[in-house]
Amino acid sequence: MTGCERIGAAFEQRTGRAALMPYMMACFPDEETSIAIGLSCAANGADLVEVGIPYSDPLADGPVIHEAATQALRNGATVQASLRVAKAVSEAVPTVVMCYANLVLSMGWEAFAAELVEAGVSGLICPDLPLEEAPEALAALDAHGLALVPLVAPTTPDSRLAEIGARARGFLYTVSVAGTTGERSGPAAGIDAVVERARANTSVPVAVGFGISTPEQASSTADAGAEGVIIGSRLIREAATAADPSTAVGLVVKGFADSLR
């Protein structure tokens, strides 16, 4: 089964509910603990897991994830160590790696795609990949059966949304609000329209992320028509503060999973 097929199967097995996709930072707070966190996500209801590779200038990420990346890098995190984490987690649940473009370009798209396959990863999210450079990335990932998952925002123009949606593989990462990742106090305004607009421009499932920090927000996002719900900063905060990060994150993930049933 290819990576694209694994992602497709994860969405097809939802049985009338939205797929839950927790985000974790590889090598945070350390490599071994991050593996335990990913496996705990899988054991507590995650349908897929997004594995972030630490980067020094994560433009799409808010302060919680930015600080986690900084700490991981300070502790010696590398791309190779991050892929070891992804490989371990991939044995339990389909994974999608989130990686900034400079880290990929230093290796080359073909070489990076081969590394992802070796790690058992199913797809790649590259939030700062310009649409104009996507064909090279798409060709390399397509050749290895991997999904290139693009991001769209409420502010994405219609013409650009159509082009991005046509190139999407696996799912379309739909940002609920303009800005960076992070926890917010309430549901995004107009999320129904955001989801409807995204779905009208792609043939793959629409997964919504950014700012979803409570089970109630996850449930309302699913009710708005999202086929997937992505949780990030809430889980990273739990990993940063808990005495037993993997157990604590697993309990939070279970709460989100229960809200989507």
For the chain, give every domain's residue range. Answer: 20-259
Return the SS3 of 229: strand
C-alpha 52/C-alpha 118 separation (Å) is 17
Domain 20-259, CATH homologous superfamily name and number: Aldolase class I (3.20.20.70)
Q: Which residues are catalytic?
A: 50, 61
pLDDT at site 183: 46
Given a contact cutoff of 8 angstroms between Cβ atoms, the answer to whether 24 and 239 are in contact is yes
Per-residue pLDDT of the chain (261 residues; tens, 9 = 90+): 999 999 999 999 988 899 999 999 999 999 999 999 999 999 999 999 999 999 998 887 889 999 999 999 999 999 999 999 999 999 999 999 999 999 999 999 999 999 999 999 999 999 999 888 889 999 999 999 999 999 999 999 999 999 999 999 999 999 987 655 554 445 455 899 999 999 999 999 999 999 899 999 999 999 999 999 999 999 999 999 999 999 999 999 999 999 999
Beta bridge partners of 124: 97, 148
Rounded Cα distance between 175 and 183, Å, is 13
Q: Which residue, 200, 139, 193, is CA-closest to 165?
A: 200
**Segment 150-157 long-range contacts (CB within 8 Å, at least 24 positions apart):** 150/125, 151/60, 151/125, 151/127, 151/175, 152/198, 153/178, 154/178, 154/190, 154/194
> Residue 161 has which token pair?
């949304």
Token digits of residue 261: 């049933």
Between CA 82 and CA 195 the distance in angstroms is 31
Helix ranges restricted to H, 44-119: 63-74, 79-90, 101-105, 109-118
Helix (H) or strand (E) holding 123: strand 123-125
Instruction: List the structure tokens of 130.
Output: 């310009």
pLDDT at position 130 is: 84
In angstroms, the Cα distances linking 198 to 142, 156, 172 are: 22, 10, 8
pTM across the whole model: 0.94
Phi-psi region at 124: left, alpha or beta (left = phi > 0; alpha = psi -120 to 50): beta
